[in-house]
Chains A and B, each alone.
Chain A
């Protein structure tokens, strides 16, 4: 069974930094592109970033480009999101998500339960 478990969510002050983690199990992690998606409570879904299976290719939404960094450690079956220069608009649930098919990036077939990041003074 595929499992994705996010951690690292916290209350952080504006301008601060935070690192989220996602522990993956139940599938061959290093075969798949992985993503981060966020959702402001009560609002819609926003894709943030993806990283290729080998970590060599990364892409970001304009809203987080230059502030967030996605990375992965295939030896630990883990995905990360380093967030900096946080603003109140970054307050959201953050999900990691697995790409549906190997050698693809387009659809998300497994998601974690989400971790809440609250940016507040």
Chain B
């Protein structure tokens, strides 16, 4: 099974900051990776698919990069509404999510 890890597990940042979240797969997954945002009491929302493709309707301050085993989600200028938990998900084989990164906006 492919294991996913994320770092940091939590981060607190200010509006306007650049925030980077890292996801690592236990084996090469090419670019088969997605990022989701989840707010409390809500279902996850797809942000990025295939490692770097922005889902329709998602603000351009979100971007994804990486391939192989190492991936990053970057928020270029943090906004107050960006709080929540961010999950990566590998789609190379049986889907598996990372443990999540809690983003708190100061």
> Which residues of A come within 8 Å of B, CB atoms?
35, 44-47, 50, 59, 61-62, 95, 100, 105-109, 111-114
Contact = CB atoms under 8 A, between A and B. Distances in A.
B96 to A, nearest CB: 6
B4 to A, nearest CB: 10
A42 to B, nearest CB: 10
A113 B43 contact: yes
26 contacts: A44-B87, A44-B98, A44-B99, A45-B97, A45-B100, A46-B97, A47-B95, A47-B96, A47-B97, A59-B94, A62-B1, A100-B46, A100-B49, A105-B91, A106-B32, A107-B46, A107-B50, A108-B36, A108-B44, A108-B89, A109-B55, A111-B43, A111-B45, A112-B43, A113-B43, A114-B43
Interface string B62-106: 000000000000000000000000010101001111111000000
B54 interface: no
Contacts, number: 51
A74 to B, nearest CB: 22
Nearest to B56: A109
A62 B2 CA distance: 13
Contacts of A50: 95
Query: What bracket does the count of chain B residues touching chain A fall in?
Result: 20 to 34
B10 to A, nearest CB: 13
Contacts of B34: 106-108
A45 to B, nearest CB: 4
A111 B100 contact: no
Contacts of A111: 43-45
Given A62-B1, A109-B55, 16 more contacts: A35-B95, A45-B89, A47-B89, A47-B97, A50-B95, A95-B43, A106-B32, A106-B34, A107-B50, A107-B89, A108-B36, A108-B44, A108-B89, A109-B46, A111-B43, A113-B43
